[in-house]
């Protein structure tokens, strides 16, 4: 039944794409359906003459495109429901279902395996897809059909979701690469959907280029395993006996391929380019879900296929994860584009996930299986949590852009009065991603801390010194993330509007654009208050991968989370919630009883300037300026102040313009040199193109001689 539900989710995703494609074609299926709807309208009008015009309004061809759009998102939501149900069913069964599909080459069928790890990631994908399906109909109405056809958007959205669902089902390298490429290529067309903008085309090119480089690395990694096992199936690869050198080569290639898709530093540069230009509900899927598919691939390869781990692998993953976490949040705090800021926070949270995976690999290779389970559980739970609050934030950002048509947070302000429901939902996402108590982000980061604090059991002095340092960096990352979202929420929602577009904004009218984020916000709160049942469910995943579980997670009951033991650390979110409610009630009662503390409204003091204007508000740049001074070596900072003189001999300054550009060092030190080398090589190689036929015949002749010499 679980595998059947997984199949249904994939088929339904493809059907939603096909239906979207049909909505853009005034022939075939669309004309037949339109004719049937018109016939139904006539029939109802004849039977119910007291309802003139109502049936025609519902069923006539003018309403047909809208109905088809609704049907596309209904199918997409159904796909998400099937994925969640199938994932829960296989995790509850705590087993694996194997199947074989004869859709590949005649001698190479597609092998399918659905186990608890696959089921967990199907749940992650399904929840985000359900929220997007609720959100999408209202959001896509903004776009003009002639310039941005919904048929293209819907088709590649369906294929994109189908590709993400197929990756966890693949049980051989051939099928895995096909599903991986389907996911990558479909998402490329979604990034470049608004292709009339040069930024979209550039972002799409960078994304596709890096995706294909990563895919080549994955193919080579699978090739190493296939060379030692003699087969492309994962079952054969599990039995491969690799030498330590070849195992390290395969691991390095896999880390490059999966890390590039996930957004690890320094191979993260596509992510802040692609996410801001894609439609917001697609950005939610890419950041909230697609990056997690890369996490799945890495876990499957490192924890399942490679076999025996080496502590050096875990240390490399831990260092990369730590660097990604702190650099991601530092780059995020400097951004003014809201979606670009959220994209950099995805780099941060992917880093936190890989920190947990690195700790798990270190403990597993050092002979501490239970602590390895703790690191893996922290990574998996943060994977789920990030999918929830990052999808929530991207959908909230989409609602803001939909209503204000502004992406620069420096031009926003005061939206809490104009979009109060969106403001409340966005605040929940800000609190969750800042890892504050009572929400899910706090629990998974707390588990990561608990895993790092057990470094004292390691025999290596180097590891005992490095792991606590990474824990301290994680604490710094959490503080910087909280500061960043204080800035975001304060500049975007509080104060006064900074532009006319924002001053005329209002709450979204589509209920779905509120229902999707509301679902995610509710889950952020629910998993933050009751994390123990979720972590107990993830124990089965860890048991299958590491042959060990954490029996102490709920040793003190479902109210308490005890990852190591009750003597070391414990956390009870329900009791914290109860204490917060009691304190809040007491404070509220005191404020209402004491008359001296009653609220009093008065005009703002303008410091003698003759009236407060929106330009006097704190800006995003001003808020982050102290951090920019402290960590100035992290970025490429281009800060200029331009003064325009006026008056006699320019003695008076008429206008002062402040310009700030924050650059990424990765471009200057890694990607620009590579681009320059490729361009130089192409220029030199181009010299052999002389246009002389005799020279070309000579090339062919000497190439043939060389090949004959090699073959013989």
Burial 534-556 (b: 16+ CB within 10 A, else e): bbbbbbbbbebbbebbbebbbee
Spatial CA neighbour of 286 closest among 199, 437, 375, 398: 398
Cα distances from 50 to residues 40, 44, 47, 61, in angstroms, run 16, 10, 9, 22
| Rg of the chain over all Cα atoms, to the nearest angstrom | 28
Q: Which two tokens stand for residue 275?
A: 């996410």
HSE-up of 446 (CA within 13 Å, CB side)?
21
Q: What is the DSSP string of 220-240?
A: HHHHHHHHHHSSSBHHHHHT-
Q: Which residues in the chain come in under a pLDDT of 70?
A: 24-65, 104, 145-146, 555, 595-600, 606, 609-610, 648-650, 712
Sequence-distant (6+) residues with CB within 8 A of 695 are 688
Q: How far is CA 420 from CA 17, 414, 595, in A?
A: 34, 10, 29
What confidence score (pLDDT) does residue 28 get?
Answer: 44
Please enumerate in sequence order all residues whose Cβ is within 8 A of that of 631, keeping only pairs 6 or more positions apart, or say none. 330
203 contacts 47 by C-beta, under 8 angstroms: no
pLDDT of residue 102: 82
- Using CA atoms, how far apart are residues 334 and 693, in angstroms rounded to an integer? 57
Tell me 334's DSSP state. Answer: T
Cβ-proximal residues to 170 (8 Å cutoff; 6+ apart), any chain: 110, 111, 112, 113, 176, 178, 179
Find the angle CA(57)-CA(60)-CA(65) to the nearest 5 degrees: 105
Distance, in Å, from the CA atom of 335 to the CA atom of 662, rounded to the nearest integer, reads 8
In contact, 139 and 279? CB cutoff 8 Å: yes
Q: What H or E segment, with its residue span, contains residue 154? A: helix 150-166
Residue 569 CB contacts under 8 Å (≥ 6 apart), including other chains? 450, 562, 563
Say how many C-beta atoms besides its own lie within 10 A of residue 586's C-beta: 10
Residue 681 to residues 28, 216, 677, Cα–Cα distance (Å)? 51, 21, 6
**pLDDT for position 29:** 47
What does pLDDT average to over the chain? 87
Q: What is the pLDDT of residues 234-273, one digit of tens each?
A: 999 998 888 999 999 999 999 999 999 999 999 999 999 9
Query: In the 8-state DSSP scheme, what is residue 619?
Result: P
CA atoms of 373 and 552, how far apart (whole Å): 12
Token pair recorded at residue 517: 């984020």
């Amino acid at each position: 039944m679980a595998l059947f539900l997984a199949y249904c989710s994939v088929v339904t995703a493809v059907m939603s794409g096909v239906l979207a494609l049909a909505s853009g074609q005034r022939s075939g299926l669309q004309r037949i359906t339109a004719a049937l709807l018109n016939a139904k309208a006539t029939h109802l009008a004849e039977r119910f003459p007291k309802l003139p015009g109502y049936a025609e309004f519902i069923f006539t061809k003018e309403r047909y495109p809208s109905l088809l759009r609704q049907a596309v998102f209904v199918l997409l939501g159904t796909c998400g429901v099937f994925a969640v149900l199938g994932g829960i069913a296989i995790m509850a069964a705590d087993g694996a279902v194997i199947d074989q599909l004869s859709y590949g080459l005649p001698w190479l069928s597609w092998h399918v395996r659905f186990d608890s790890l696959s089921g967990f990631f199907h749940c992650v994908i399904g929840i985000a897809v359900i929220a997007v399906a609720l959100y999408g109909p209202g959001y896509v109405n903004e776009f003009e059909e002639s310039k941005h056809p919904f048929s293209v958007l819907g088709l590649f959205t369906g294929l994109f979701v189908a590709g993400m669902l197929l990756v966890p089902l693949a049980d051989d390298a051939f099928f895995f690469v096909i599903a991986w490429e389907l996911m990558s290529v479909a998402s490329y067309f979604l990034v470049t959907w608004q292709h009339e903008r040069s930024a979209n085309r550039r972002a799409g090119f960078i994304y596709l280029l890096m995706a294909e480089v990563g895919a080549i690395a994955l193919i080579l990694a699978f090739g190493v395993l296939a060379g030692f096992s003699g087969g492309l199936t994962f079952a054969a690869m599990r039995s491969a006996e690799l030498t330590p050198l070849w195992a390290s080569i395969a691991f390095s290639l896999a880390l490059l391929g999966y890390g590039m898709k996930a957004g690890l530093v320094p191979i993260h540069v596509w992510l802040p380019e692609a996410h801001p230009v894609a439609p917001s509900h697609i950005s939610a899927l890419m950041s909230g879900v697609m990056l997690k598919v890369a996490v799945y691939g890495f876990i499957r390869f490192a924890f399942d296929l490679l076999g025996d781990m080496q502590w050096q692998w875990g240390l490399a993953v831990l260092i990369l994860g730590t660097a990604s976490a702190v650099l991601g949040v530092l780059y995020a705090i400097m951004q003014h584009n809201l979606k670009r800021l959220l994209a950099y926070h995805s780099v941060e949270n992917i880093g936190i996930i890989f920190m947990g995976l690195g700790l798990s690999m270190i403990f597993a290779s050092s002979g501490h299986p239970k602590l390895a389970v703790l690191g893996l559980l922290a990574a998996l739970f943060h994977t789920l949590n990030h999918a929830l609050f990052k999808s929530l934030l991207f959908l909230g950002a989409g609602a803001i852009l939909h209503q204000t048509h502004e992406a620069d947070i420096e031009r926003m302000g005061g939206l809490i009065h104009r979009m109060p429901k969106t403001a409340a939902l966005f605040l929940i996402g800000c609190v969750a991603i800042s890892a504050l108590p009572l929400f899910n982000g706090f629990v998974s980061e707390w588990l990561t801390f608990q895993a790092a604090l057990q470094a004292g059991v390691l025999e290596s002095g180097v590891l005992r010194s490095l792991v606590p340092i990474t824990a301290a960096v994680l604490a710094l990352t959490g503080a910087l993330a909280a500061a960043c979202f204080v800035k975001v929420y304060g500049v975007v929602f509080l104060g006064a509007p900074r532009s006319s577009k924002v001053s005329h904004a209002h709450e979204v009218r589509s209920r779905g654009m509120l229902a999707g984020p509301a679902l995610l916000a509710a889950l952020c709160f629910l998993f933050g208050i009751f994390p123990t049942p979720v972590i107990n469910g993830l124990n089965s995943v860890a048991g299958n991968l590491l042959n060990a579980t954490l029996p102490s997670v709920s040793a003190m009951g479902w109210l308490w989370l005890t990852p190591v033991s009750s003597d070391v650390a414990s956390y009870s979110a329900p009791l914290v919630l109860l204490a917060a409610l009691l304190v809040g009630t007491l404070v509220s009662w005191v404020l209402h009883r004491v008359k001296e503390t009653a609220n009093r409204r008065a005009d703002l003091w303008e410091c003698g300037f003759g009236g407060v204007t929106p330009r006097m508000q704190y800006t995003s740049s001003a808020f982050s300026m102290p951090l920019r001074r402290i960590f100035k070596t992290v970025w490429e900072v281009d800060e200029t102040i331009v003064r325009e003189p006026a008056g006699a001999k320019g003695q008076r300054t008429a206008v002062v313009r402040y310009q700030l550009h924050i650059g990424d060092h990765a471009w200057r030190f890694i990607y620009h040199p590579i681009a320059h080398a490729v361009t130089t090589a192409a220029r030199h190689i181009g010299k052999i193109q002389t246009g002389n036929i005799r020279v070309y015949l000579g090339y062919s002749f000497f190439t043939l001689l060389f090949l004959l010499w090699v073959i013989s």
